[in-house]
Structure 1
Amino acid sequence: MKTPAQALAAALLMTTTTFTLAQTVLPLWPEGVPGARAIGPERIDGHVANVSEPTLLRVGPAVDRPNGTAVIVAPGGGYVRLAYEREGVQYANWLGTLGVTTFVLKYRMQEFGHPAPLQDVLRAVRLLRSRAAEFGIDPSRIGVMGSSAGGHLAASAGTLFDHPLGRTGNALDQVSARPDFLMLLYPVITMDGPAAHAGSRKALLGATPAPELVRLMSLQNQVSPRTPPTLLIHTQADEAVPVENSILFYQALTRAHVPAEMYLFEQGGHGMGMRDGLANASAWPRRAEEWLRSRGLLAPSAALQAK
């Protein structure tokens, strides 16, 4: 009998061999990257690093009828590199089996620092919302999913979507950048205290960030009633990004009366991705699917059906 992870892997393999997933790379800033500068060529060695030209990789759903939900996936990597395949494309293929259209975000990191990653993720939300009809998605069903530092970026989108630093003066700034939901896997949340991930903090904010910047980017401080519904997944065994990060964010969401669900597993280290051998944590994709389904995000979009 197959384990949940083995069954999922088999489904993904069958899907990707039976269907040709429509993949398109979209430039995020066709008019020119804000603050562009020469940092040398992009590096790809199992991870992606030294990103200067942010993009979205569109992975179409592996079903005949997309449900209209879209997810922007931000891979982790400490704002130094991107686990592009393991925490990006792999998740996109899984979401495709659920009828979701996915966009894997390649965002700027330590070479640019704050606020470049925030600008990239908010631009991604605005771009999809402004071109929703073209992509066959519902503009009211655009979520952001992220792992580790990508989880920090996703949570930034869900809390700082109206922040002036997320705007660049382009006409698209007038489009709402607020995601409709968040999915955060072992996210970096706080930039202060014993639960902070020092590597992500240094890469994003520099070696000696100002106290006000540390507070701004400690995202438990930025939750408001407008923060979108959130799913959190973390493990006790995570020795890189302590589980307290998810707990802090969940507590802030609860105080703000934002719908939130959190799964804290015993086993499964940092960057667990989608694999067997992690006891109950290996079934996190099933829990995530249940959460998406319970929020009506896997049912066909009424807005698209009405057209």
Structure 2
Amino acid sequence: MCYSFLCFSPWDEAPYKDATERTTQGNLTLKGFLSEWALMTMLDPRGSLANLLYIGYGGNPASALHVTRRRSVDRKKQQTERNVFHCLVFGPKNAGKSTLLNSFIGRPFSESHEPTAGERYAVNVVDQPGGNKKTLILREIPEDGVKKFLSNKESLSSSDVAVFVYDSSDEYSWKRSNELLVEVARHGEESGYGVPSLIIAAKDDLDPHPRSVQNSVRVCQELGIGASIPVSSKLGDMNNVFCRILSAAEHPHLNIPETVAGREHKQFRQLFNHSLLFMSVGAAFALVGMAALRAYGGRRNSSR
């Protein structure tokens, strides 16, 4: 590939190694090559630019990277101009998070389960209807790493969307995934960095747990997000999930979960703002009335 003539490759170590699509011989595909650049640019923009110059880029370095506007502005404008989207993947152990990432980069399904040690990335170019191409970066957050991740107030600020994976045949898996969803949603409400969220019901080839199905429908309605998406990596039936993740990211004002506490806080703020407005209008009327009274009194005195 492009780095075959160099003495090193910047993608031989984590988190870049095994993060993209490769051929059966282990070489990067074109999509994989472009995806590695996108991942490095997100994680290490200076390193990405340095490597670009190292391989002979002759253009203006300032034009090599495109700085997009803040995500908070995207939410207000209800649209985004991004071509690269960052998705957080949450879920309990053995829910199917790693399998989801493997499917995304074309890895074959495996029955064996190896717990993920630390965070992991998977990135690929997604073909959308109409011929558009967008790059999606999946970042797996291990269950035991969620607390540390959320300890940073701005942990969600660089993310465009979040998905919550659970084993559809396991009731506990659903309960834990729901807890993580509420936990992340609260963090978003408190920090101001709420993100569109989707629920993924993995292992759809197994018999679904009836109570989990019912509860997932109820929770989605209560939080104001879309219905859970059933997928089966084993059967290769991914239900167009990656395009649906991209679609959620491209509409940053939708599918943002709203907890009960967040809803009550929002209602309190609205009531408080209305009260301030009422008090301001009342004060304005009082001032106008006093001014009119003084003018009337002055006119009477002058007429005597």
Q: Same fold by TM-score, threshold 0.5 exceeded?
A: no
Q: Which has the higher helix share?
A: 2
Give the TM-score normalised by structure 1. 0.38
